[in-house]
Amino acid sequence: MAELKCLLWDVDGTLADTERDGHRVAFNMAFEEAGMDRRWDVPTYGELLKVTGGKERMQFDIDRGGMPAIPFEKIAALHARKTTHYETLIAGGLIPLRAGVRRLLEEAYAAGITLGVSTTTTPSALDALIEHSLGKEWFDRFAVLAAGDIVPNKKPAPDIYTYAMEQLGVAAEHTVALEDSGNGWLSAQAAGLKCVVTINDYTANQDFAGADLVVSEFGEADRDAVNVLINKHGLTDVHHVTLAHLQAIAAA
């Protein structure tokens, strides 16, 4: 049986529900600031989330005719402004952690489990979320912050997870990924990782066949029980996801 030694966390939609009321709003602020007519409403942004990476989403929207063609330099500049607006939203306390995230992080840290982040979000956006939603001490508690363009291929490619494990010197058999999206699950799977998925409004109908555990949220002991959508290993008493459940998944 494999022992759980490491947890690798996705960020957007997993640590916090950042997409609809964070990144989407910040994109629209950047578009308005640049004098562009384009606005991404909630359903449109849900479609765009099928594409991983903010700059890539803008290019996809251009290619399908949603936005006028602009050079990559302007795409990059718009994305930089979007990140600034996003950081302001985070600093204002408008995007809290999802239920159960802090509890699981603290339990794992206290148990000596190595913690890391594997995300396609930009490093500055990640730093803002850690500082304002978790606390500055977590910059030291996460052993690796793998983010943004640090690898050539974004999710669903396995690169970001492979990179994080290489940096930490841990094997896939001792590591569990925590994700929220189909692309994230495919990335973790391709890296040989077991994976727990916590869905959100944007990802609820995506395909997670084969994932080890899929739940509505990680949950809390003093709240209603989470909805369990996939329970590959027949875990018992999943009122909320615990460190013991994650250890059982690693050992399965």
Q: Which contacts (CB < 8 Å, 24+ apart) does range 204-209 have?
A: 206/181, 206/182, 207/182, 208/182
CA angle in degrees (0–180, nearest 5) for 41-46-51: 120
Cβ burial of 112 (10 Å; 0-12, 13-18, 19+) is exposed
* HSE-CB of 221 using CA atoms within 13 angstroms: 4
Task: Tokens for 163, please give them.
Answer: 């990179």
Out of 10, 17, 159, 180, pick the active-site residue: 10
Does 63 participate in catalysis according to the annotation?
A: no
Peptide bond connecting 156 to the previous residue in cis, omega within 30 degrees of 0? yes
Nearest to 166 by CA among 197, 139, 191: 191
Of the residues 12, 17, 159, 212, which is catalytic?
A: 12
- 207 among known catalytic residues: no
Which distant-in-sequence residues (6+ apart) come within 8 Å of 57 by Cβ? 48, 49, 51
Catalytic residues: 10, 12
